[in-house]
Amino acid sequence: MSDIFENDIDDERENLEALEDTADESDQGDADFTPDEPLYHLKLEYSRESIFATAGGVQGIEAGVRVIVPTRYGHDIAVVLGETKKPRGVRQSDIVDIDRIVSKEDAKRAEELKAKESDAVKVFKEKVAYHRLDMKLIQVHFLVAEQKALFFFSSDNRVDFRELVKDLVSVFKMRIELRQIGVRDEARITGGLGVCGRSYCCHAVSDKIKPVSIRMAKDQNLSLNSMKISGQCGRLLCCLSYEFDWYSEARKNLPSEGIHLFYDGTNFKITEVNPITSTVKMLGEDGRLLEVNAKRFAKDSGSRWRIG
């Protein structure tokens, strides 16, 4: 019977670890980076990706203005969210210069291309069905400043779409780029409401969110039920990372769960530590359950916790 329980525990641990992100140091940005000139936070409306750019000599850059800027897909329209003083998750090498503010001609072309995107969706799905490919179309976008079309799709497997690209080029007479994306990127693009009732963090707040781990949930005393700490994308909630640094710092001055100490003539075991309320719960061998203010705890010369 004990072997069965042990297997259940291992399976649950594996299931939780599957929800974690794999840390990629290349996406963490330069921690000590401070811009020498005004830096603006921009966002691509179709993919909800962040771009950080300098004005590049362009005047009139302010929140809400649409600009043409170089992106990893090509030159296209982005919306200025505002100036940023302390950029997060930014590498200096990723910062670009704004080309220009969107003109009337740019805006007109953007509207014309937007109208073509719905037709492009139909064509794409027809071609995918013809080639019998396992692909789920997420988003279609035509670049404004270049003759290029982007097709974002998801799939459980790697897809050989070379013949599909040839067909799409023959139809649209422009460069075609197909990008296979993961579940987090899909959630960022499509958007939706999270368990909190607000828009997905990755869609409405920022795409520069550090990797989320099970440890973040543990340190915040959250349930390790995967249904409660995972988002609609099936991965750990982005918001688990927001307060993790605060919890980590607060716990440095608090005893850990499981520690034993002698108090009031009885041995006690710490069963719960709450950094927010600064309280510690202890269960004594005599059956007493005490809730003690965390400020009463201190370490003696032997680095053992005691209650003052």
The two three-digit tokens of residue 182, written as one number: 């993961």
Q: What is the pLDDT of residue 295?
A: 87
User: For 11-58, how does the pLDDT look when each residue is reduced to its tens digit (9 = 90+)?
Assistant: 444 455 556 655 444 455 555 566 678 899 999 989 988 899 999 888
Q: What is the pLDDT of residue 257?
A: 87
Q: Count the alpha carbons within 13 Å of 301 in the hemisphere toward its beta carbon.
A: 0
What are the C-alpha distances in Å from 68 to residues 22, 41, 129?
33, 13, 35
User: For 268-283, how does the pLDDT look when each residue is reduced to its tens digit (9 = 90+)?
Assistant: 999 988 888 889 999 9
Q: What is the pLDDT of residue 184?
A: 85
Q: Could you give the angle at the alpha carbon of 220 between the alpha carbons of 32 and 20, nearest 5°?
A: 70
Q: What is the pLDDT of residue 21?
A: 59
Q: What is the pLDDT of residue 205?
A: 80
Q: What is the pLDDT of residue 7?
A: 42
**Distance (Å, whole) CA 56 – CA 72:** 18
Q: What is the pLDDT of residue 16?
A: 55
**pLDDT average per 10 residues of sequence, the chain (308 residues):** 39 52 50 72 90 89 93 94 80 88 94 92 95 93 94 91 94 94 87 86 78 85 82 85 85 86 90 89 92 87 80
The two three-digit tokens of residue 108, written as one number: 């007109």
